[in-house]
Copies of this chain bind each other. A is one copy, B any other.
Amino acid sequence: MEDKVTINDVAKLAGVSKSTVSRYLNKGYISTEKQERVRAAIAETGFKSNFFAKRLKTKESKLIGIVLPRMDSVSVGKLLSGFARIFEPAGYQQLLLVSGLDGKKELQNMESLLQQGVDGIIVDSVGITKKHKALAKSSGLPMVITGQSAEGLECIKIDDYGAGHMMGAYLRSLGHRRAVFAGVTETDTAVGVERRQGFVDGFVKGEPKARVDFVQTGFDFLSAYNKAADILSYKPSVIVGATDNISLGILRCLHERGIKVPQEISVAGFGGYDVGAVVYPALTTIFFDYELVGMKAAQFLLDKLSGKSREENLDMPLLFVERESVRNLTKGTNGEKMGFQSMV
């Protein structure tokens, strides 16, 4: 522990008062001569100002609390990259807490962060409850939610309903009438409800009637893989996974059963993970720019911190990625592009 050097030691060595050193550290208001003496003294002693003492005075921690459902997922990784790109240059650091997909833990983590004296909080939630809202209110701290949306809270997320709808409409336009949506539980409002509902709305609209069945899976490859029999029992012409990973699990199973994709069955997903491009057939999907979400959320929080409460558009762009796993039933192949590219 070399941090015995305090502002006092520096002051002594430089032959000035500690207030002068303090001023040197912060504003200016110091003669160029003493300025030099202090600089030298600091260099010599290797002085580092004590973080806690400083914060105790200034009431600003320059700390942002981040609460995450889990760490080992591509989307969370991207999100964090986005946060870092904004917070680091701004001189903020991130305090990270993981809730393990557990709502209770999520709340605990939020409280814990508040107590740590963070300046603001970002929660990548798996499901907002009234308690979340209460906490947000009572804390009085800027808080932004990511991954879910909830009234009364500031949320920044991709448009799950819109993405679902886009995919549904796309598939329908290609002549598909029987779809299975393989998705997660409804406690995940964003993915389990909004994305799915968007898909249904986009798919069943119009004549002739179309139908979508639902099969529940987890978020991982394996749980999707294991549900393949259920899924197939509905005799769909297209299977859409709520997530690229789900679709990948399905793809694997289809392959094992010798079912050709997209010739016999089409598959699509959501997320736009890189890996979807290297599997065979490459997965048609909708790309979500989680890194951008992270950046927007971080910037939004920073703006709140500095008073600017800009109420601008928080919709994230959606990018349709048409690849090889979906067949165009109206043409007989999947060759024809339909100008269904980058959309918002």
Instruction: List A residues at the B interface (Cβ < 8 Å).
Output: 1-3, 46, 48-53, 55-56, 61, 63, 66, 70-74, 76-78, 80-81, 84, 88, 93-98, 112, 114-117, 138-141, 220-222, 225, 248-249, 251-252, 255, 274-275, 277-280, 291
On chain B, the residues within 8 Å of A84 by CB distance are 71, 96-98
On chain B, the residues within 8 Å of A140 by CB distance are 1-2
Among the listed B81, B117, B279, which residue makes an inter-chain contact with A279, where contact means beta carbons less than 8 Å apart?
B279
User: Can you report 20 residue pairs joining A to B where beta carbons are below 8 Å apart?
Assistant: A1-B140, A2-B139, A49-B115, A63-B95, A66-B96, A71-B80, A72-B78, A72-B80, A72-B291, A80-B96, A84-B96, A84-B98, A93-B97, A93-B116, A95-B96, A248-B275, A248-B278, A252-B280, A275-B275, A278-B279
Among the listed B1, B88, B251, B280, which residue makes an inter-chain contact with A98, where contact means beta carbons less than 8 Å apart?
B88
The minimal Cβ–Cβ distance linking A107 to chain B, given in whole angstroms, is 14
A77→B88 contact, CB < 8 A: no
On chain B, the residues within 8 Å of A2 by CB distance are 138-140
The 6 closest A-B pairs by CB, nearest first: A72-B77, A252-B278, A71-B80, A52-B55, A84-B98, A52-B56
On chain B, the residues within 8 Å of A56 by CB distance are 50, 52-53, 56
